[in-house]
Amino acid sequence: MCCKTLKEETLRAAKLQLFLMNSNKTLKKAINIAIPFVLGGGILWWMYRDTDFHAMEDTLLHEMNWGWMLFSLVFGVTAQMFRGIRWKQTLEPMGEHPRLMDCIHAVFISYASSLVIPRSGELSRCGILAKYDGTSFLKALGTVVTERVIDSLLILFITLVVILSQVSIFSSFFDQTGTNIGDVLRGFTTTGYIVTAICLVITLIFLWLLMRRFTLMAKLKDMVNKVKEGILSLRGVENKGLFVFYTLAIWGSYFLHYWITFRCFDFTENLSFTVAIVSFIVGSISVIVPTPNGAGPWHFAVKTILILYGLADTDAVAFVLIVHTIQTALVPLLGIFSMVTLSLRTIKEVK
């Protein structure tokens, strides 16, 4: 009887320990999902806490040129399509030949899933190809890493070119206006500095966690070899010129997706190409901070650049909120379209 009681107590303790372990895992996942939303939401609240939304609504409904805005969305679609086409090209040297439209659908779904769980898109699109085309998940993940490296190097190069090309322009601007860097920096509020510092800290923490995750993954030799094979797949791409074209087409589409929106408002239509490219680059870098579609950090970074180039604070705030909201709305629509399309195809194949 005593032995039976001891076994029951041991079993209860084991169940309790298992329950606590699962609870801790669930709590950690919940925290990881919640932090990006809290961070992005906090920045947005700070930026728009004193905003007159009635005036912004009037701008949206009566002053914005919807023709240009809808035209800009075309390039939001082409950017993702070119990414899917390029992805298929990097998979082929490894003997993986998924359907072209499946690659595109996977990219559409990946961007939509990242709105729910930031940075989950890379995993979801690899899972889509594994499910519908039997593509190796780890090889596909390796090619995604390759894409990120290539895109980061391209953005870094463009950033350096922009910085170097702007040295004389900034110098001339400061000389003509009697403004110096110190005056510009003093124009930032204490809260502005705090938000910038928080974004930088969160970015460093995210990069550290990412490196730590890859270190843990490195313990699994087979996994590392397959991911490495995907990363090195670029060497086997048959038409490297076409790969370069797709890469430029992706980022050219992203830029047009953003730049065309300048034509939507009276207060931005006369801003120069320089303002567009500088704010685009700064905005692209700011989305490193893991929030849904860069919400918060992107608004803050782009608004700051536009103000430094002379746009009124209220106009800059309205521009970033309206543009980001409308263009973000495109992402789940494409994701839903692809999910429905793939589901209908599966039903048809089963029948």
Q: Per-domain residue ranges for the chain?
A: 59-350
| 59 token code pair | 């701008």
What is the value of pTM for the model shown?
A: 0.75
Within 10 angstroms of residue 216's Cβ, the number of other Cβ atoms is 8
Within 10 angstroms of residue 150's Cβ, the number of other Cβ atoms is 17
**Max CA distance (Å), the chain:** 94
Supply the DSSP string of 71-133, one letter for each residue. Answer: HHHHHHHHHHHHHHHHHHHHHGGGT----HHHHHHHHHHHHHHHHHSTT-HHHHHHHHHHHHH
Cβ contact 84:103 at 8 Å? yes
Count the alpha carbons within 13 Å of 128 in the hemisphere toward its beta carbon. 28
Place of tokens 């050219």: 252
> CA-to-CA distance for 115 and 192, rounded, in angstroms?
25
Q: Which amino acid is at 197?
A: A
> CA-to-CA distance for 328 and 336, rounded, in angstroms?
13
> CA-to-CA distance for 234 and 124, rounded, in angstroms?
22
Cβ contact 262:302 at 8 Å? no
- For 269-287, b/e burial (b = at least 16 CB within 10 A) is eebeeebbbbbbbbbbbbb
- The residues, ordered by sequence, that sit 6+ positions from 279 with a Cβ below 8 Å of its Cβ are 258, 302, 305, 306, 309
Cβ contact 267:319 at 8 Å? yes
Give me the tens of pLDDT residue by residue for the chain, a chain 351 residues long.
555 565 555 566 555 555 555 555 666 666 666 666 676 677 777 777 777 778 778 888 888 999 999 999 999 999 999 999 999 998 988 888 999 999 999 999 999 998 888 778 888 999 999 999 999 888 888 888 888 888 888 888 888 887 777 666 555 544 544 445 555 555 555 666 676 677 667 666 666 665 555 554 454 455 555 555 655 666 777 788 899 999 999 999 999 999 999 999 999 999 989 899 989 988 888 877 767 777 788 888 898 889 888 888 889 999 999 999 999 999 999 999 999 999 888 776 666
